[in-house]
Amino acid sequence: MTLFWKIFVSFMIAMTVTSVGAIYVTYRIVSRPLTQTEFEGRDRIIGEVSEALARGGETALKTWLRENPRPTRATVLLVTNERGDELLGRAMPRELRALLNFRPTARRPNRPPNFQGVQLTPMLTGPDGEEYRLLFASAPITIFGILMWPGTGVAVASIAIFAAAVMSLLLARYVSSPIVSLQKASRSLAAGALDTRVGVPFTRRGDEVGTLARDFDAMAERIQELVTAKETLLRDVSHEFRSPLARIRMALALAERRAGEASRPDLARIEREAERLDALVGQVMTLTRLRTTNAPPRDIVRLDTLIGEVVDDARFEYPDGNLEYAPPGEVLVRGDAEGLKSAIENVVRNAMTYGDRTQPTEVRLDTRRNLATIRVLDRGPGVPAPELERIFEPFYRTDKSRDHRQDGQGIGLAITARVTELHGGKVAARNRAEGGLEIAIELPLGPEKAAA
């Protein structure tokens, strides 16, 4: 159960019990039976009722009762016929019902024959000989008249529960809404949106929640400054590497012309390392650019065709490999074609570099619901299970299974993960039961569904 519902249910139960109890006690106090023989205005009411009954019988009596729901401010008059039915069909309080059942004129063996009992309720006789009994009750203190309804207990409980529910809803929302906002902001910040802030109105609150919101915004501001400074430094350093690398390669070209045959292998090695360093600088700059980008272009991309181009390039680059790919048909996504191609290419190259090229490496494209899934399956040594998530971190290299070659720089899969994240997808790796590694990239389909 979420915090909102915990607070809501707790407040509602407490407020409902308190409200029902308070209203019930008040109702019981104001509903005490009225003395039938002594109260101000009794004789006047009896006279008016008697006159109406004598003038027009039961019909006139009902009319008088409708016109006088409260003959006095604190009194309600109920009239019953010989069958005990209230003329206007109103509910009879329990105390008055007991008075109706009391028969003071009934003969008892131990009473003398000339004994006359006390008449607790007035009785009138109509023109047709029908007897009517008058019962006086205290008019209850009403809340919009609800205590006058039939089934007063149900009415009171319903109003109390409704009021408690509304108040509890407002209180629960007031308490839980800043926590929900903090939760969303923390998730957004963890996902890489460094400009996320809780903001007003929560930071303007003077309580502990407001302090927490302000501290969160200050923390997010500091994290953004640190990450931005690091990315800027990395980008600037990478950019500055380009100029000396270019001069080194020019110097190597001149040295190759002047060097003898004995020096050429060494110069060729230096050139290869310079090319690797240049490629690493390019990847670092690409990753830095991706990390400072929040929204890639949203063009319509033929994903099946793009993967086919990547596979063709990989077959040309690795002629000794066995790369299999069967396009499923037209699959459309929205995004940056170059970024997606780079992300998929890094995974395919990773599989061709570390996998067993004597065994087939498969590239699959499936669509399910609103997702397109790209799977690259190799037959290499795999990755230790604890490191499956870390291979998408920049410069992370496994120590055992897949680090037996030094062809990569440990940054390609980090680019793949960032590109996938920018496109609203996710990437994951798992070891295959039959041996090898499977990397799956999930991307949301574009507005146009995949066509067979």
* Topology at the third CATH level for domain 299-444: Heat Shock Protein 90 (3.30.565)
Tell me, what's the pLDDT at 419?
85
pLDDT surpasses 60 at 371: yes
DSSP 382-441: ---GGGTTGGGSTT---SSSS-S-----S-HHHHHHHHHHHTT-EEEEEE-TTSSEEEEE
CA distance 20 to 132: 37
Long-range contacts of 97-101 (CB under 8 A, 24+ apart): 99/36, 99/135, 100/133, 100/135
First to last CA, the chain: 43
Tracing tokens 């690398």 back to the chain, one arrives at: 245
Pair 217, 197: CB distance under 8 Å:
yes
Tell me the CATH architecture of domain 192-294.
Orthogonal Bundle (1.10)
What is the pLDDT averaged over residues 286-305? 76
Tracing tokens 């009596």 back to the chain, one arrives at: 61
Tell me, what's the pLDDT at 243?
73
Q: Give, in order, the Cα–Cα distances in Å from 151 to each of 18, 19, 223.
A: 20, 18, 63
Pair 270, 252: CB distance under 8 Å:
yes
Residues ≥6 apart with Cβ < 8 Å to 366: 328, 372, 373, 375
CATH number of 3-107+116-154: 3.30.450.160
Strand order, beta sheet including 75-80 = 75-80, 131-138, 123-125
> What are the residue boundaries of the structural domains of the chain, listed by start?
3-107+116-154, 192-294, 299-444
What is the pLDDT averaged over residues 138-149? 53
Residues ≥6 apart with Cβ < 8 Å to 216: 182, 185, 186, 198
Tens-digit pLDDT profile for residues 26-45: 666 555 555 666 667 788 88
pLDDT surpasses 80 at 194: no
273 phi and psi angles, rounded to 5 deg: -65, -35
CA distance 32 to 29: 6
Tell me, what's the pLDDT at 441?
92
**Mean confidence (pLDDT) of the chain:** 77
240 phi and psi angles, rounded to 5 deg: -70, -25
Tens-digit pLDDT profile for residues 72-91: 877 888 888 888 888 888 88
* Of residues 79, 102, 82, the one with CA closest to residue 92: 79
Tell me, what's the pLDDT at 32?
54
* Of residues 320, 333, 16, the one with CA closest to residue 158: 16
pLDDT band of 368, cuts 50, 70, 90: confident
pLDDT band of 146, cuts 50, 70, 90: very low
pLDDT surpasses 60 at 339: yes
Share of the chain above pLDDT 70, in %: 78
Residue 91 CB-half CA count within 13 A: 9
Q: Give, in order, the Cα–Cα distances in Å from 97 to each of 30, 222, 400.
A: 18, 77, 92
Tell me, what's the pLDDT at 253?
79
Which strand (E) or helix (H) includes residue 379? Answer: none
Tell me, what's the pLDDT at 449?
46
pLDDT surpasses 50 at 452: no
376 phi and psi angles, rounded to 5 deg: -120, 120
Tell me, what's the pLDDT at 38?
64
Q: Which amino acid does the sequence have at 446?
A: G
